[in-house]
Amino acid sequence: QYGFSMLDELELAYAVTIHKSQGSEYPAVVMPLLTGPRMLFNRNLLYTAVTRAKKCVTIVGKKDTVEMMIANESDLRRYSSLDLQIRGMYEGVERE
């Protein structure tokens, strides 16, 4: 329990999403797994959320949701189309 004198130790996070927190770490993370688009509930997102925590992760939700996220490998590969964009830049360019 926090007293008034300990408020400086808290970092406010009204709506820090998993995506916004990428690259950051926090002593403790609370991850609510409520409702949302099924495509967002995948293994990559779960991994990113869990690895943000240095010491403690609390997952709030149903066990079935966590199991579904672990089984959902739909976003394991990234499809940025970067390779197609690079190839497009070089179309028509003569090589030496």
* Residue 45 in this model has a pLDDT that exceeds 80: yes
- Ranges of each domain in the chain: 4-90
Query: How many C-beta atoms surround the C-beta of residue 93 within 10 A?
Result: 6
**4-90 — its CATH code?**
3.40.50.300
Most confident range, picked from 16-25, 29-38, 80-89: 29-38
Question: Which H or E run contains 68?
Answer: helix 63-71
- For residue range 60-79, list pLDDT tens digits in order: 988 888 888 888 887 666 55
User: According to the model, what pLDDT value does residue 92 have?
Assistant: 64
The pTM of this model reads 0.59
